[in-house]
Structure 1
């Protein structure tokens, strides 16, 4: 059974809600899924997942949310190579913020690429200005790529 590790960055709970829906969907598809909440690099690595799924909103001036930033920093600072691992990034934001729209997701995607992970698909950007329920966009995307 293939394993998926889910890591979530959320400020007001929207990304967490999407992660709950994703966890259920992926389990129904036959994956062994673990949600690391909060995500700690050593725990994620010990799970030895085939796929890393990162779901994050953006906060501040395009920052990774506080509950995911320590994991982001651990990955950036320790640089564990993800050769042979696949990843996907689902970014949530509001396009009215201009250049910082989905910036946390872009940072996560870039870091996973630098760590030599293989992207399953281009990053999914969900615009809160266009989509009231992010799961309506996220779940079909997950079904297509997992």
Structure 2
């Protein structure tokens, strides 16, 4: 399987913890992964021969976390064409808000606009229903990596 670039945006640390857990899972499967902290995203354009996995929480009224918002805005402003990029999104949110998981939805929409292809479903993790978002994310990751492998075999 191709290398995975794992990007996260967090407010209180939950999305970072989920991203770190997914990093450990990928490494355990012998999949090369780079966990990119928000500080390392300046100028980063996802390579199309690698996979992108975005883990983000939602804050305020459906806003992106402050730590990942500059990268999102740069991607949106520069709009690099990424037709061969394959990606996944894990969104953390609270379903008691109308803007549930909106930061992840915005990332999904942006990456699609840039020509990327989402592999699998966008995972929405509800803070109202789960106290351990990493458990849901790990189960989703198993399916995601299988879909990637199946897609590569086509």
Superposition map of 1:1-146 within 5 A:
2-38=2-38, 39-40=40-41, 42-45=43-46, 50-97=50-97, 99-146=98-145
Aligned CA distance change for structure 1 residues 8 and 67 (closer, same or farther; 3 Å) = same
Stretches of structure 1 that go unaligned for 5 or more consecutive residues are none
Task: Write out per-residue CA displacement over residues 27-65 of structure 1, whole angstroms, 9 at most, x where no aligned residue.
Answer: 1112211111115253354x6651100000000110010
Aligned residue-pair number: 144
TM-score norm. by structure 2 comes to 0.88
Stretches of structure 2 that go unaligned for 5 or more consecutive residues are 146-154
Q: Distance in 1 between matches of 2:44 and 2:95?
A: 34
TM-score norm. by structure 1 comes to 0.93
Q: CA RMSD in A?
A: 1.5
Structure 1 position 122, deviation (Å): 1.8
CA contact (8 A) 1:41 1:75 kept: no
Q: Distance in 1 between matches of 2:102 and 2:67?
A: 16
CA contact (8 A) 2:49 2:84 kept: no
